[in-house]
Chain A
């Protein structure tokens, strides 16, 4: 049981390049989330998916797109990377387990845009 996995762990992009961050969970959770973490800003929600087939914007969605490929996988795409998107990206998932909605996080992807 791996929990939440993310690929890649590290990535360096040039301005204008595109890439997709992958996330998968094996806990059969319905809800999945993408956050970014920046010094002095804390963790901020980019997009989330309450269930398979639905996605919603979070606090900082501009410059990103998401796809809920199936119940297990939720990807985050940067179409044209900008230096402001240099950050650590975390994927998380949650489920109604004894009414807790406890969120479980992946190890993160460290992205640098030059």
Chain B
């Protein structure tokens, strides 16, 4: 069964810290992997998408890496800010135009 797991479920850090969120998937035959951000009571905002042929993607203070062979992706957030507080979701696409399989998310709190 294709499953996506995110650890930890919740994380609290002081402002300014660099942090890493983890995502693992059971089937390495992925098409792509997406990281989303979800604010309380809101929809999902796409942060980064990594194709199966790529090793990493960067956007501002965010860097996502992909290691298909080990079934892992990490989202690195540099110099965290209180505005980064949200739930971060990892999702894997196995087929073109198909269904995303989501992890349960990591709830991040950045304290001023």
Residues of A within 8 A of B (CB): 30-31, 33, 40-45, 48, 50, 58-59, 90, 92, 94, 96, 99-108, 110
Beyond the given A96-B96, A105-B44, A110-B41, please list 6 additional residue pairs across the A-B interface where CB-CB is below 8 A.
A33-B99, A42-B105, A92-B44, A99-B51, A100-B32, A108-B42
B70 neighbours in A (Cβ, 8 Å)? none
With known contacts A31-B97, A43-B89, A94-B97, A102–B105 Cβ distance under 8 A: no
Shortest Cβ distance from B38 into chain A, in angstroms?
A: 9
User: Which of the residues A40, A90, A100 comes within 8 Å of B51, measured between beta carbons?
Assistant: A100
The complex places the Cα of A90 from the Cα of B105 at a distance, in Å, of 16
The answer to the question of B86 belonging to the interface, with a C-beta cut-off of 8 Å to chain A, is no
CB pair B51–A42 under 8 Å, yes or no, is no
Shortest Cβ distance from B23 into chain A, in angstroms?
A: 12
7 A-B interface contacts by CB (under 8 A): A41-B104, A43-B100, A45-B100, A50-B97, A59-B99, A105-B43, A108-B43
The answer to the question of B93 belonging to the interface, with a C-beta cut-off of 8 Å to chain A, is yes
The complex places the Cα of A100 from the Cα of B54 at a distance, in Å, of 12
The secondary-structure label for the interface of chain B is: strand
Interface size on B, residues (CB 8 A): 24
CB pair B96–A101 under 8 Å, yes or no, is yes
Shortest Cβ distance from B49 into chain A, in angstroms?
A: 5
A41 neighbours in B (Cβ, 8 Å)? 104
CB pair A101–B102 under 8 Å, yes or no, is no
CB pair B31–A106 under 8 Å, yes or no, is no
Specify which of B31, B32, B41, B43 lies most central, judged by the most chain A CB atoms within 10 Å of its CB. B43
Residue of A nearest to B101 (CB): A45
The complex places the Cα of A33 from the Cα of B101 at a distance, in Å, of 12
B34 neighbours in A (Cβ, 8 Å)? 102-103
B91 neighbours in A (Cβ, 8 Å)? 43, 103
Q: Quick one: CB contact mask for B28-47 with A, threshold 8 Å, 1 for yes?
A: 00011010100001111110
Within 8 A of A (CB), among B71-109: 89, 91, 93, 96-100, 102-105
